[in-house]
Amino acid sequence: MTGLADVFGRVGLRPVEYTGGTLPAISPIDGTEIGRLHETPVESVQTVVERARQAFIKWREVPAPRRGELVRLWGEELRAAKVDIGYIISVEVGKIIEEGLGEVQEAIDMADLAVGQSRQLFGRTIASERPGHRIMEQYHPLGPVVIITAFNFPVAVFAWNAALALVCGDPVIFKPSDKATLSGLAVFRSLERAMARFGADAPEGLAQIVIGRRDQGVALVESHDVPLVSATGSTAMGRDIGTRVAARFGKRILELGGNNAMIVTPEADLDMAQRAILFGAVGTAGQRCTSLRRLIVHRSVKDQLLESVTAAYKSIKIGNPILPGTLMGPLIDENAFNMLDRAIARATGEGGTVLTGGDRVLTDHLPGGFYVSPCIIDMPRQTSGMREETFAPLLYVLTYDGPVDEAIELQNDVPQGLSSCIFSRNMLEVERFVSVSGSDCGMANVNIGPNGAEIGGAFGGEKETGGDRESGSDAWKQYMRRTTNTINFSTALPLAQGINFGS
Ligand code: NAD
């Protein structure tokens, strides 16, 4: 990884920041240490929150379209740094360059969306039942927002939250994953540059970063001065954070694990399905919350589909993600590899048959990295192991014989509810899938895979995925508090519901 110091320098990271600390940054490409970051002491987390609270008092008074100007500048900074930040993501998280760049593009798209949103933070006017009265809703800034992110989207998820929070009038405190802190710092520096250009309207403490692990996260989550915690990560993390935030009546946005399925019916375009399976299950080495984990295929097309999918799997170029032509990089670390190994052993113990992959590869060239051949396992039924998320390129196959309802039932019969899709050209099947008795997931796609969402829609899932939404649509409302104002412009004081109170 020659030239990494230059890339760090160009995105605004100084050697003193990424050397000599207690938090190692390990590249999954070959296991080398590429930095040693300085953790924010847990005792100083409350000071960070207090600074954000002070910033809020000023920032909430800045008109929203002017706040949008800050995010517009941020979009410019992200554009200028796209190649370098994308490269850092690839080196630190192991995504192929194309996906590293795509992640920065997602942050840019989000900034653009938020700029437009800054002129549309509107409420409704509601007809009053009383003469000479008017009811209206307003959305006001909420306060400091804590953003805790997972390792696999260190840049985009920060942008999803920060771009909206900032236009909504909220300071942000960013706690990136301890496995992707350099990427987090790189995107944070781009926001700092935008703030410097924006000038004095951006108060000190408007955007802060807390570097660390679970403990720093817990300290932030427990602060009573943080009205909203937006946390992305595993279901175990979400269960802990959700409970802590609920105990103090805070608001939360939880974006947790998925167990995403694709249904392929007898009337599917099998070529399209095969390509979507490849990107869905193998892309990002299966380390997306929306990665394809379960393929539910009708028996009549199963053999044909699996023949082309397994052939395509065998042709996937696995290797160093920063080299052109590579389609699949490494797993994030040894733990991830062990988890995959255990899941495969459990699946075969539950009656599954490995159709391809599942082995550690490249141990001769890149012994410090955990590279695997993507795995497909044919399962006799939906077993307990399949109900858990394995964050790796492991695809289970289930077969169905009956109508599409049988496949939908299998798809919904897991604790998670993030993303789902159907491949079919039969409108009865498709409409069934997106209907009230169809997919129970936050996202239900037709003739595209479960992953790779655009930022315009609301992103998130049901059940153990957390139940919340972020990114586009009306997700902005969560970063604001709503007030309902009833205004009497008459000289009488009629009571609602016609109540006569002693007059
Ligand atoms: P993780 O749960 O290990 O960590 C996520 C973040 O939470 C990290 O910053 C970590 O330091 C912090 N953290 C962990 N426990 C905490 C606690 N008790 N209190 C406060 N902070 C805590 O997740 P990961 O391994 O980094 O990411 C993979 C997981 O994230 C997968 O389950 C994946 O599906 C999920 N994910 C979900 C989405 C989504 O939008 N639904 C997006 C990306 C990733």
**pLDDT at residue 479, rounded to an integer:** 98
Q: Is 152 in the pocket of ligand 1 (CB under 6 A)?
A: yes
DSSP-based three-state secondary structure for 406: helix
Per the document, the length of the chain is 503
Q: Ligand 1 centre and the CA of 120: distance in Å?
A: 31
Closest by CA to 73, choosing from 165, 190, 178, 228, is 190
**pLDDT at residue 24, rounded to an integer:** 98
**pLDDT at residue 503, rounded to an integer:** 74
| Rounded distance between C-alpha atoms, residue 74 and residue 189, angstroms | 10
Q: Is 342 in the pocket of ligand 1 (CB under 6 A)?
A: no
Dmax over CA atoms of the chain, in Å, equals 90
**pLDDT at residue 430, rounded to an integer:** 98
**pLDDT at residue 367, rounded to an integer:** 97
Closest by CA to 209, choosing from 23, 342, 337, 382, is 23
Q: Is 230 in the pocket of ligand 1 (CB under 6 A)?
A: no
Helix, strand counts (H, E) of the chain: 14, 23
Closest by CA to 229, choosing from 52, 93, 60, is 52
**pLDDT at residue 149, rounded to an integer:** 98
**Is 289 one of the annotated active-site residues of the chain?**
yes
Q: Ligand 1 centre and the CA of 42: distance in Å?
A: 19
Q: Ligand 1 centre and the CA of 158: distance in Å?
A: 13
Residue found under tokens 């230059």: 6
Beta strands 443-446 and 419-423 are parallel
The rounded average pLDDT for each run of 10 residues, N- to C-terminus, in the chain (503 residues) is 91 97 98 98 98 98 98 99 98 98 98 98 97 98 98 98 98 98 98 98 98 98 98 98 98 98 98 98 98 98 98 97 97 98 98 98 97 98 98 98 98 98 98 98 98 96 98 98 98 96 87
Mark 271-291 as b/e (b = at least 16 C-beta within 10 Å). Answer: eebbebbbbbbbbbbbbbbbb
Which secondary structure element, helix H or strand E, spans residue 12, and what is its range? none
Q: Is 289 in the pocket of ligand 1 (CB under 6 A)?
A: yes
Q: Ligand 1 centre and the CA of 354: distance in Å?
A: 29
Task: Report yes or no on whether pTM surpasses 0.85.
Answer: yes
Percentages (nearest 5) of helix, strand, coil residues in the chain: 40, 20, 40
Ligand 1 pocket mutation, candidates 253, 284, 289, criterion most atoms within 8 A of CB: 289
DSSP-based three-state secondary structure for 215: helix
Residue nearest to atom 9 of ligand 1 (CA): 177
| Rounded distance between C-alpha atoms, residue 171 and residue 220, angstroms | 14
Beta strands 394-400 and 292-298 are parallel
